[in-house]
Amino acid sequence: MDDRWNLMQDQPFSRLNARERAFAICNPESFIELLCPRRKLTSPHLPPMGQTPQFDDGIVVGLGKAGKAPVVVVSQESRFVGGGVGEVHGTKMVMAIRLALRGQEILKSQYKSSEDSGQVALVISFDTGGVRLQEANAGLLAHSEVMDAFQAARGKVPIIGAIGGTVGCFGGMGFVASSVDVLIMSDVGRLGLTGPGVIEEVVGTEEFDAANRALVWRTTGGRHRFITRDADFIVEDSMKAFREKVSEVASWPLEKISSKRIIGTDDMVLEQMRFAELAASDKIQDSWDLWRQFDNEDIEYLWDSDVTEFTAHAKRWPRGRIGESD
């Protein structure tokens, strides 16, 4: 067994880089990187702006196994331009989705039943601020292509997201992360559309103080996203915890994984609209007010408890029932 793999399992997920996360989320000695830095696949847009490119363009793609399931892994590197998505970065994501689809087709053709063949899962470790500003148009196009590829994979290949890196997942990638089948977060992970700094710049500190870490985390952090069901699971900030949960989910039947989705149908859109109306009402001034709407009482206890206690006692958005009493 690889000693490096063993050492990484006890490391905080948030402190590992993209390549380490991709390597350690798979079974030992099973990860094979595709389009590695030796291929020197770099962004053509950065050098004209005086910025040094990176040979993997801030994203790691590869193949491996998570538990018994074959997986295609995508892992974003926030240390390179904030994990921003540009042309090459987005293309690698799209091709990873297509590779997972192709792998599933091959499995189906070689086995008589789905029980014998198993299934290929796509695992994405998000750590990004969204569109790469240096190549904004290409980055926006990449986001739409990823979403289109997600739609092509719907009901065919399960897509599992993981958020627990240093940046979190913001911007257009916040939409992408919300479109996966199952999303796993740690309580230090963050998910949102607009980053705290941008909100503060636009509407001022009175509306949102980006320097208030407690405010930022209780608004965009994993615990809040678990309560609102944007995240399906919350785990400890450790590589082992993420790997075990990914392996567990990847072993589920496709129907069970797909049932966790929160967007994708007309009914789901209406459900999200009802939720947005509640969150925008005058009685909701803080994320904790929303928690109380779901009958959570001892909020400070929930906030300070460990992940196991939090998961056991937190009451979540009652999907399908919001607004019925109104």
What number of other Cβ atoms are within 10 A of residue 298's Cβ? 10
Query: Beta strand pairing status for 59-66 and 69-76?
Result: antiparallel
43: left (phi over 0), alpha (psi -120 to 50) or beta: beta
Residues 6 or more apart from 198 whose CB is under 8 A from it?
A: none
| DSSP character at residue 305 | S
- What is the distance between the alpha carbons of residues 122 and 99, in angstroms, rounded to a whole number? 9
Asked whether residue 116 carries a pLDDT value surpassing 70, the answer given is: no
Instruction: Fill in the amino acid letter for 228.
Output: T
Per-residue pLDDT tens for 31-72? 999 988 888 888 888 888 888 889 999 999 999 999 999 999
Domain boundaries, the chain: 3-191+230-263
**Quick one: pLDDT band at residue 165, thresholds 50, 70, 90?**
very high
Task: State the pLDDT at residue 308.
Answer: 95
Third-level CATH fold of 3-191+230-263: 2-enoyl-CoA Hydratase; Chain A, domain 1 (3.90.226)
Its pTM surpasses 0.85: yes
pLDDT in tens, 254-287: 999 998 888 777 888 888 888 888 888 888 888 9
Residue with tokens 């042309």: 87
What pairing do the DSSP bridges indicate for beta strands 233-235 and 182-186? parallel
Q: Where are the alpha helices (DSSP H) in 38-128?
A: 87-110, 114-117
Whole-angstrom Cα distance, residue 6 to residue 306?
Answer: 24
